[in-house]
Amino acid sequence: MSLNPQRTIAELQELRELTADANGAQRLAWSPVWLQAREWFAAKLRELPVEHHLDAAGNRWVTLAGESEKALLLGSHLDSVPNGGWLDGCLGVMSALEVLRRFATQYNGRPPVTIRLVDWADEEGARFGRSLLGSSACAGTESIEADRGRTDRDGIRLEDALRNCGVEIDRFPEARQERKNAAAYLELHIEQGPVLESLGLPLGTVLGTKGVERHAITFHGQEAHSGSTPMNARRDALAAAAKLALNIRDIARKHSDAVCTMGSLKTFPGIVTAVVGRCEATLDQRDLDAQVLAGMYAEAQESSRRFAAEEGCTVEWSKIWNIEPVPFHPTLIGFCEDAVRETAGQVKLLPSGPLHDAAEVSRAGIPTVMLFVQSLRGISHNKIEDTREEHLKLAVAALDRLAGKTADWIQRS
């Protein structure tokens, strides 16, 4: 039997039936529903000539041994955010399974190179606020001491939640062993944004994941009575923050794919009868080009100081988190372009704003590329997340072509 993308759609629907309620998918990592989803997935492996196990970080590895030990990795994640969609993550896992089945059938259970499927544990970080947990353990970029004491809403520690699922956080570094013989990593994912839909294209080749600069910015002014303080005597911290909130849009617009977001703003004392004495804002800046990102960060800092001075305020910055841009592998980007062109005609190259497990794999030095399929309305992390069936079928077919080209490349090199 050859590739059957219709089966992937049927299996995704099956998974939705099993793990979604009226509010959407509930496959929160380390929860009973997630474990149920993983058991359902393991049952799909029974009739295949594969070995599978969980690594020290709870990632599931499925291995179809080939003539060569050099391995082509395909993967994504079965976990979801609470009230999530039916495609985020699981599309990548189930399409990888379909491609693995195709290799198993075509080569009578022994393809020229080894094919490995990985279902990463806790990509979303929805419960403990730590995204890419399993893939970072495999990549060797894990932060065990910072993570073990993280708690969920009910005060349960990450370390204990993992232990309940048979995973010891102190053994995370052992997951790095899975990188042995890894020659390439491919991941199909929904775009989760509106770009492909706006261009009328089903598929896109991903150039890499954008770097992120995430900072807290506090403007200090002077609390004062709203009735008695003349306009020209005010030191209004909100006015300075507001100027910055508008200015970051101009900063981002100088670059074609850059984004800047002020997602949170708090005023103190925050009452109707007082000029704002302190304003706490957050800034999230992203771009695929490290120089562009650094430039936008510097520009926002400079603007904030200028606006603070104009309003008689001061400003301080503190870093919340940052990550470098992760450009994908040029050869694999080329294969992905070819696969998309052969499957769907036109090619669009685009960066990914969201982070993905693929970024961790790439940081570990394994040649990596991602394939995006159009998201309807650009909506994700929501029960209305959707993609047209015909686009899903094209996506599975394109991933299969990409996998074929990559396996040939691995065999040659």
Q: What is the DSSP string of 304-367?
A: HHHHHHHTT-EEEEEEEEEE--EE--HHHHHHHHHHHHHHHS---EEEESS--HHHHHHHTT--
Of 173 and 354, nearer to Zn ion (C-beta) is 354
d(CA 302, CA 45): 56
d(CA 231, CA 309): 16
Q: What is the DSSP string of 213-232?
A: EEEEEEEE---EETTTS-GG
Window 63-92: contact mask with Zn ion (x via CB under 5 A):
-------------------------xx---
Closest contact distance (angstroms) between CB of 92 and Zn ion is: 7
The verdict on 357 binding Zn ion (CB under 5 A) reads: no
Residue nearest to Zn ion (CB): 89
Of 89 and 193, nearer to Zn ion (C-beta) is 89
Closest contact distance (angstroms) between CB of 407 and Zn ion is: 24
Which positions from 157 through 196 interact with Zn ion, judged by CB under 5 A?
none
Of 88 and 122, nearer to Zn ion (C-beta) is 88
d(CA 195, CA 207): 14
299: how many CB neighbours lie within 10 A of its CB? 18
**Three-state secondary structure along 68-99?**
EEEEEEEEEECCCCCCECCCCCHHHHHHHHHH
∠ CA 137-138-142, nearest 5°, is: 25
Window 120-159: contact mask with Zn ion (x via CB under 5 A):
----------------------------------------
Window 87-116: contact mask with Zn ion (x via CB under 5 A):
-xx---------------------------
Of 89 and 351, nearer to Zn ion (C-beta) is 89
Closest contact distance (angstroms) between CB of 271 and Zn ion is: 41
Of 88 and 98, nearer to Zn ion (C-beta) is 88
Of 354, 289, 285, 291, nearest to 317 by C-alpha is 285
**Which pair of structure tokens corresponds to residue 413?**
């090199």
Closest contact distance (angstroms) between CB of 72 and Zn ion is: 21
Of 89 and 277, nearer to Zn ion (C-beta) is 89
Closest contact distance (angstroms) between CB of 87 and Zn ion is: 9
**Which pair of structure tokens corresponds to residue 36?**
């149920």
Which positions from 22 through 41 interact with Zn ion, judged by CB under 5 A?
none
Closest contact distance (angstroms) between CB of 305 and Zn ion is: 37
Of 88 and 299, nearer to Zn ion (C-beta) is 88
Q: How many residues in total does the chain contain? A: 413
Closest contact distance (angstroms) between CB of 91 and Zn ion is: 9
Closest contact distance (angstroms) between CB of 89 and Zn ion is: 4
Of 89 and 211, nearer to Zn ion (C-beta) is 89
d(CA 265, CA 257): 24
Closest contact distance (angstroms) between CB of 25 and Zn ion is: 11
**Taking the C-alpha atoms of 175, 179, 184 and 190 in order, what is their torsion angle to the nearest 10 degrees?**
0
Q: Strand 51-54 to strand 211-220: parallel, antiparallel, or no bridges (unpaired)?
A: unpaired
Residue 340, CA distances (Å) to 203, 333, 349, 400 in order: 7, 10, 10, 10
The footprint of Zn ion on this chain (CB under 5 A) covers a number of residues equal to 2
Closest contact distance (angstroms) between CB of 192 and Zn ion is: 7
Of 194 and 334, nearer to Zn ion (C-beta) is 194
Residue in this structure with the two tokens 């592998």, named with its chain if needed: 329
Of 25 and 292, nearer to Zn ion (C-beta) is 25
Of 88 and 386, nearer to Zn ion (C-beta) is 88
Answer for the pair 114, 98: CB distance below 8 angstroms, yes or no: no
Closest contact distance (angstroms) between CB of 38 and Zn ion is: 16
How far is residue 279 CA from its own chain's centroid?
Answer: 30
Where along the sequence are the contacts to Zn ion (CB under 5 A)?
A: 88-89
